[in-house]
Amino acid sequence: MLHITTLHYLVLGAALFLLGVIGVLTRRNVVIVLMSIELILNAVNLNLVAFSRYWQGIHGPTALHGQVFAIFVITDAAAEAAVGLGILIAFFRNKETVNMDEVNLLKW
């Protein structure tokens, strides 16, 4: 039976990261772009937690730094989503669109 190693998780994380990057770079809809950013953050988180397991295997069960990092990243994601969606609503109210490439004014 194939053993699941840290590397498996890293590959999965990389794949998700790439998907997120594609989403951010190609989509016009801001909401979906924000979701793609969440995808990227999650890919990073997956890596961090996988590293945390790897680190635990070497340094013992208290070496949970990766998990702590992941929690910080989640906090950050919450803040980012709140502010990002706030900006989105403000933008939508003024321009009546949620398309990324129509955000071309510094002031309105």
Partner 1 sequence: MNPPVATPFFFYLLAGTMIIGGILVITRKNAVHSAMALITTLLAQAALYLMLYAPFVAGVQIILYAGGIMVLFLFVIMLINLERNMKERQFNRQWLVGIATAAALGGLFIAVYTATTRGKVLFPEGRMSYVEADNTQKIAGLLFDRGMGQYMFAFEIASLLLLVAIIGAVVMAKKRI
Partner 2 sequence: MSGYRSIWGSRAGNDHCNDPPEIPRLADEGARLRDDADKKASPGGLGTDGIRMTDPNTLSPLDLETPDKTFLDANELIINMGPQHPATHGVLRVILRLDGEKVMGLECVIGYLHRGVEKIAENRTYTMFNPYVDRMDYVAAVSNGLGYCEAVEKLLNVGAPARAQYIRVILTELNRIASHQLWLGTHALDIGAITPLFYTFRDREEILKIFEKYCGARLTTHAFRIGGLQYEAYEGFEREVKNFLTFFTPKIDEYEELLTTNRIWLERTKGVGTISGPDAIALGVTGPVLRASGVKWDIRKAQPYANYKNFEFEVPTGQNGDTYDRYLVRIAEMRQSCRIIEQAVAGVPEGPIMAKVPKVMKPPVGEIYHSIEAPKGELGYFIVSDGSTQPYRIRVRPPSFVNLQALEVMCRGQLVADVIAVIGTLDIVLGEVDR
Q: What is the DSSP letter of 100?
A: G
Q: Which residues contact 37 (CB under 8 A, 6 or more apart)?
A: 20, 24, 80, 84
Residue 92 is a binding residue for partner 2 (CB under 8 A): yes
Quick one: which H or E segment has residue 56? helix 30-59
Distance from C-alpha of 51 to C-alpha of 57, rounded to nearest angstrom: 10
Q: Based on CB atoms, which residue is closest to partner 2, 18 or 31?
A: 31
Among partner 2, partner 1, none, partner that 102 touches (CB below 5 to 8 angstroms by kind): none
Residues 4-43 as x/- pattern, contact with partner 1 by CB under 8 A? xxxxxxx-x-xxx-xxxxxxxxxxxx-xx-xxx-xx--x-
Residue 95 is a binding residue for partner 1 (CB under 8 A): no
Among partner 1, partner 2, none, partner that 107 touches (CB below 5 to 8 angstroms by kind): none
